[in-house]
Amino acid sequence: MRYLEGVSEAFQNPWQFLLSFFLALLVILIVTKLLCKCAAKAQAKAKIREAQQRREVAMKKMEAAVERLKQQAPKVDPEHILSLSLKELAHQLRQGSLSPDSVLWVYMEKALKVHSELNCLTDYLEDCEVRVQELKQQPKEKRGLLYGVPVSLKDPYDYKGHDSTCGMAYFLGKPAEEDGVIVKVLKSQGAVPFVKTNIPQTLLSFDCSNPIFGQTVHPQNSKKTPGGSTGGEGALLASGGSIMGMGTDTGGSIRIPSAFCGIYGIKFTGYRISYNGVNSSIKGKKTVTTMAGPMAQDVDSLVLISQVLLSDYMYKLDPTVPPMPFRKEVYSSTQPLRIGYVETDGYTQPSPSMIRAVREVSEKLQAAGHEVIPFSVSRIEYMMKKLYVPGIYADGGKTLLEKLCGDIIDPSISSIISALQLPAFVKCLLSWILRPTVCLENRGWGFIKGMGTQRENGA
């Protein structure tokens, strides 16, 4: 009877009944969403703990491998090997005056020491020990340009059996099924990949920190950043823990750590080399092109690596790359060139040391007989505000936020993630309110702050 009376009363007050129903449904939805978030966060934390433990085990395996190789490989002077340039090291390895296993343990030992000080490694590629033994069986005439040379890889490069994390819990426990194209090309020329290096969470920061592997610091000052996103590579190379490495660059991710750490790097023109087998936190970007590129300790090393990468084998593995091989005759030519340069793009302010460097290079090129022409970059503000940033976050950050669901957000990207999480109507309102004040801000600092850099640079 009471039940029937309740039903009768509900029909007598339908609006009140509907309001109660929708309020109850809203509460259920909110509670369900909170429970899902809590479950996702717990899962992410568990995956992070497992990844941290895997790295500890990997570093111990690396230490054990160093001791094994020390016992088995020919005796060498580590300081002598570490003092060689890439060109000299590769030559001595090809000629047989140095053994690949000796060189490997020297660089592994140095990398471990650097890592203990800077926290720059994320993984040890343990099959490198087997690889050097296989290389030793090769006859001299079949040895490639990078025969026996140890190579470090930025975290997102796919290496069979290892995670390409991008500093995100989402990608943990998803090892690559095969090597990426660039890794295959390097191996085809005898290179020995042996470690992966640290990056910022999502790769969209000029810092080098993530919740899985922590903060990488600058080689000369632990209170500063080595730059990002290829910061682990920059720190390792600058400290002598690797002789060559591979990075990626969307808006400075090779160039910034190279400048901060005092090494050399190249961001190739879009689609100049293959990007197949390199992971990304945001796939499918078309208006903004991310490129792979080498990093090393001198310019000659970059030339040698470019010769290796721009090869017929890469074009065979990835037919989407235009077949434009390295032309040594053009590189070696002494004919005068026409070279354009800019001192500033009019949007970000270069430091006095950068302007001085550009002017000194321009003067030396002119003295060498080249024609040097200053030019200005047009509509740079439009490009940055209307093409670059919107090109990265074309979906309003939806894809990125989905991958970060439940993840711990690193301070290096917290500001941009907070902005992406705002409701659309709030973004529009803030844009309308802040537009007049944004025009008065320092444009360079505003952009860097927006990308989430909160640590001092290492310049």
Cα–Cα distance for residue pair 396/85, rounded to 1 Å: 45
Cα–Cα distance for residue pair 127/192, rounded to 1 Å: 9
Cα–Cα distance for residue pair 400/200, rounded to 1 Å: 14
Find the angle CA(377)-CA(383)-CA(389) to the nearest 5 degrees: 140
Cα–Cα distance for residue pair 288/336, rounded to 1 Å: 33
Cα–Cα distance for residue pair 395/378, rounded to 1 Å: 27
Question: Would you say 342 and 375 are in contact if contact means Cβ atoms under 8 Å apart?
Answer: yes
Sign of CA dihedral 82, 84, 88, 92: negative
Cα–Cα distance for residue pair 123/155, rounded to 1 Å: 8
Contacts of 332 (CB under 8 A, 6+ apart): none
**Nearest Cα to Cα of residue 66 among 110, 7, 1, 98:** 110
**Nearest Cα to Cα of residue 153 among 244, 62, 273, 59:** 244
**Amino acid letter, 451:** M
Cα–Cα distance for residue pair 211/213, rounded to 1 Å: 6
Contacts of 121 (CB under 8 A, 6+ apart): 55, 59, 111, 112, 115, 195, 196, 197, 198, 232, 236
Catalytically active residues, by annotation: 154, 229, 253
**Tokens at residue 366, please?**
């002119």
Cα–Cα distance for residue pair 93/140, rounded to 1 Å: 10
Question: Would you say 217 and 417 are in contact if contact means Cβ atoms under 8 Å apart?
Answer: no
